[in-house]
Amino acid sequence: MKDIAIIPARGGSKRIPRKNIKDFLGRPILVYAIEAAQRSGLFSHILVSTDDQEIAAIAERCGASVPFMRSQSNSDDHSTLIDVLHEVVGALDSGGFDASPYLCCLLPTAALLDHKRLISARDMLVTSSTHCVFPLVRYRSPIQRALFKRDDETVAMREPEQYRTRSQDLLPHYYDAGQFYYTTRDACIARRPLLDDGAIGLELSDLEAQDIDEPEDWALCEMKYRLRFG
């Protein structure tokens, strides 16, 4: 029995209007996440959760399905991914939808996602006791040496005691790549936070991920895509 992919793609976006279907190198960016899910061969259904008819139409043209529109209560800036997953899984269960105990939440702006990473994440999930596997990227500079600015523009170290510590002796830190979360239906039903203690991180390189919050992030993501895929 294959898993389910759920792509949360609401219509509202303040910093980059219509971000989830904005043109990315000639196609709506949502298409790339759908195609990565299709290429993985892991999913019996690729569902898009949206409150927007245009997004729904694009998703369906690309082979995904939109069995129902997202509720208004889960369509604002305060809705969390686990709220959306809980809603989708609850609706599927109430409709008698038979599926694997595993599911994957793919973010609609994950244009750099390699489908092989989905396969690796699923393997890690089913062979461990974790509730979630997700990709992360290592900070290039040690965060122990982070600086902050005072009101008078002078700077100071957050951890001055680390000033003389060699970089290679500092504990590496990572950030969420924001591409996908491979988790379980039980965790979604229980509303367990995706990054709760015990989640496993799958490390990516800098070229494999890019947060897209500002227009310059979009340009960087397109640049990385060209470097990786030509």
| pLDDT, position 96 | 78
pTM for this prediction: 0.95
Give residue 12's pLDDT band: very low, low, confident or very high (50, 70, 90): confident
90-141 pLDDT per residue, tens:
999 888 787 799 999 999 999 999 999 999 999 999 999 999 999 999 999 9
pLDDT for position 74: 87
Contact in structure between 76 and 152 (CB atoms under 8 Å): no
Predicted confidence at residue 78, as pLDDT, reads 82
Give percent of the chain above pLDDT 90: 90
Please identify which residue in the block is written with the tokens 């500079």: 141
**Residue 45: CB atoms within 10 Å:** 17
Higher model confidence: residue 193 or residue 230? 193
Across 59-67, average pLDDT = 97
pLDDT (0 to 100) of residue 106: 98
Give the model confidence (pLDDT) of 67-83 as tens digits.
999 998 888 888 899 99
**pLDDT 10s digits, 17-60:** 999 999 999 999 999 999 999 999 999 999 999 999 999 999 99
User: 10: closest CA among 116, 87, 95?
Assistant: 87
Ramachandran angles phi, psi of 154, nearest 5°: -75, 160
Q: In this structure, are residues 107 and 178 in contact, taking their beta carbons and an 8 Å threshold?
A: yes
Amino acid 93: pLDDT: 87
Q: What is the DSSP letter of 145?
A: G
Position 95 scores a pLDDT of 81
